[in-house]
Amino acid sequence: MKKKHVSMKKKSSWRKHTDINDVEEFLEDQRLQERIGANIEKTDAELFQEDKTPQNKSISLRQEKKLRALEPSKCFIALANNSKVEDPIRKRNRVKTPDERKHPLLKAKIQKQKDEGIIPKRQLQSIKDRIEAKSKMIKSKVKNKTFDKDLWADDVKDPILQGNQELNSMWVNDELKQYHLKNLGEDRVKVPKITHEKRSQLKAIEPIAGLSYNPNKEDYENIINSVVSTEEEFMKKSQKLNTSLKAVYQKISKSEIKRRKRAEMREGFPIANGFEVEKDEEPSDNEYKTLNPPVRNKKKDLKKRRKQKEFKERMARKEIEKNELKKLKDLGMLKMYKKQILKTENEIEKKKETRLKKQEQKKFEPRRLTRKKFEDEDIHVEDSVEALGNLRKIKPLGSILVDRFKSMQKRNILLPNIKRLPRKRRITKVKKNSHKEEIPQISKKMRKSNKIQIHD
């Protein structure tokens, strides 16, 4: 409840009970106007302006970014003084910029020189230096490698010892040399044979007669036939694969899939297809039964043991007799055995020969070094003879680089691997809210059109 009547005897009570809200609001508003610098009394025409600049700016995104980079960064916005209120202290003693500190006379002189086109000495020198440094940079990039010695000269037997006069003398024995070299960090290392071995018996460069720019008819037909046969083989394989996979991946209707799935899920439940399955087994008694009944250790009696022993003895005797008889028989069979031995020896020899042949052939084939098998490059052939026969009209077919790469793989110098490229990650770009307003939205189409404009 509000009091109807209040005493206004004291100053404090006046302060307490008068309503000055509207006055304060007005003043606050006035201060705000002062700070922002707006003037309410302006007309609409003065306050607002017709936007005549085109919405789609003709600058590229890159240029825009550059312009934006010139502006002070967002983080300093809070520090900036936006108030339009003038500094109450007129002559505040603030730090002056170097430009402001300059003497006006000097300033005028510099300006005059600038107008006349005179560049000061220091600036000239700096420009010169910059150009020189740049040219030096280019030169240092193209390093001229020099080859100024004979690597295979007779006198250079031990290149490590060349520079070391003390060790190279005749008074130091070999062991001592080895010891010192080891401690100097220039140990003599035995080069493994693999560096000098030929990796394959294949030649590095094998020109094919049929690939001549103006080939003999026969050679050309040969190479075309070989290409066709490889292609046919490939097609045959792929077809075979297709047919065999067709059986595995059959086409099934959706309803069938559903039915099968349902059947699978229902597997093992007593209710199949909505009917109750009859139970095969009848309810048994409570008696415990195992599949393997326990074995009793039943002892044999003496008679059985004796008989067993006798049987064993008899068998042993029989075996001996048999062997003796065989020996006699074998004497008669000697000729046949000789033949047999000869036969087996022959077979072994043949096997050896084939093995050697295989080994010899293996020298011309790529070895199995990795999981991936070597695949030879397809031969690139001009498919019509009319395109051939003119040096001027030859078209590039295949590339020598690929040819070299494959040849090196074939000769076991390189592994038949393909470089695995890193997977490209999908990057989603999101703009921060604070940055959203500043960047004018330019559609992709517009960007393209802008680019074209700039290039023109």
**Smallest distance from the beta carbon of 226 to another protein, in angstroms?**
15
Residues, the chain: 456
Q: Which of 296, 419, 425, 432 binds another protein (CB under 8 A)?
A: 419
Does residue 421 belong to the site contacting another protein (CB under 8 A)? yes
Of 42 and 372, which has the nearer Cβ to another protein? 372
Are 170 and 382 in contact by the 8 Å Cβ rule? The answer is no
Q: Which of 74, 404, 448, 451 binds another protein (CB under 8 A)?
A: 404
Q: Which of 92-100, 280-288, 415-423, 435-443 is the region at the interface with another protein (rule: CB under 8 A)?
A: 415-423
Q: Which of 390, 434, 435, 439 binds another protein (CB under 8 A)?
A: 390
Q: Which of 104, 163, 207, 332 binds another protein (CB under 8 A)?
A: 207
Say which amino acid occupies 254.
Answer: K
Are 57 and 448 in contact by the 8 Å Cβ rule? The answer is no
Does residue 9 belong to the site contacting another protein (CB under 8 A)? no
Of 331 and 421, which has the nearer Cβ to another protein? 421
Record the tokens describing residue 292, joined without a space. 């393997």
**Smallest distance from the beta carbon of 175 to another protein, in angstroms?**
19
User: Over the range 384-415, which residues count as b (16 or more CB within 10 Å of their CB) and which as e?
Assistant: eeeebeeeeeeeeeeeeeeeeebbbbbbbebe
Residue 236 CA: distances (Å) to CA of 54, 232, 245, 246, 333: 64, 6, 14, 15, 55
Alpha carbon 110 to chain centroid, angstroms: 58
Are 446 and 56 in contact by the 8 Å Cβ rule? The answer is yes
Q: What are phi and psi of 337, to 5 degrees?
A: -65, -40
What distance in Å separates the CA atoms of residue 284 and residue 281, rounded to the nearest whole number? 8
Are 417 and 370 in contact by the 8 Å Cβ rule? The answer is yes
Does residue 216 belong to the site contacting another protein (CB under 8 A)? yes
What distance in Å separates the CA atoms of residue 24 and residue 30, rounded to the nearest whole number? 10
Does residue 38 belong to the site contacting another protein (CB under 8 A)? no
Does residue 374 belong to the site contacting another protein (CB under 8 A)? no
Does residue 92 belong to the site contacting another protein (CB under 8 A)? no
Of 121 and 145, which has the nearer Cβ to another protein? 145
Does residue 416 belong to the site contacting another protein (CB under 8 A)? no
Q: Which of 59, 180, 382, 449 binds another protein (CB under 8 A)?
A: 382
Does residue 415 belong to the site contacting another protein (CB under 8 A)? yes
**Smallest distance from the beta carbon of 435 to another protein, in angstroms?**
21
Q: Which of 22-30, 105-113, 189-197, 265-273 is the region at the interface with another protein (rule: CB under 8 A)?
A: 189-197
What distance in Å separates the CA atoms of residue 209 and residue 220, rounded to the nearest whole number? 8
**Smallest distance from the beta carbon of 244 to another protein, in angstroms?**
25
Residue carrying the six token digits 């065999």: 244
What distance in Å separates the CA atoms of residue 42 and residue 48, rounded to the nearest whole number? 10
**Smallest distance from the beta carbon of 222 to another protein, in angstroms?**
11
Does residue 199 belong to the site contacting another protein (CB under 8 A)? yes
**Alpha helices, DSSP H, located in 37-158:** 44-47, 61-70, 98-101, 104-116, 121-141
Of 6 and 387, which has the nearer Cβ to another protein? 387
What distance in Å separates the CA atoms of residue 64 and residue 18, rounded to the nearest whole number? 57
Q: Which of 33, 226, 403, 446 binds another protein (CB under 8 A)?
A: 403
Q: Which of 69, 75, 105, 194 binds another protein (CB under 8 A)?
A: 194
Q: Which of 189, 291, 331, 427 binds another protein (CB under 8 A)?
A: 189
The number of residues that bind another protein (CB under 8 A) is 71
Does residue 401 belong to the site contacting another protein (CB under 8 A)? yes
What distance in Å separates the CA atoms of residue 385 and residue 219, rounded to the nearest whole number? 12
Does residue 400 belong to the site contacting another protein (CB under 8 A)? yes
Does residue 413 belong to the site contacting another protein (CB under 8 A)? yes
Does residue 120 belong to the site contacting another protein (CB under 8 A)? no
Are 270 and 276 in contact by the 8 Å Cβ rule? The answer is yes
- Binding string to another protein for residues 130 to 169, with x set by CB under 8 A, is what? -------x--xxxx-xxxxxxxx------x----------
Are 208 and 224 in contact by the 8 Å Cβ rule? The answer is no
Q: Which of 32, 118, 204, 272 binds another protein (CB under 8 A)?
A: 204
Q: How many CB atoms lie within 10 A of CB 381?
A: 19
Q: Is the dihedral of CA 196, 200, 203, 204 positive or negative?
A: negative
- Binding string to another protein for residues 218 to 257, with x set by CB under 8 A, is what? xx--------------------------------------
Q: Which of 392, 423, 426, 445 binds another protein (CB under 8 A)?
A: 392
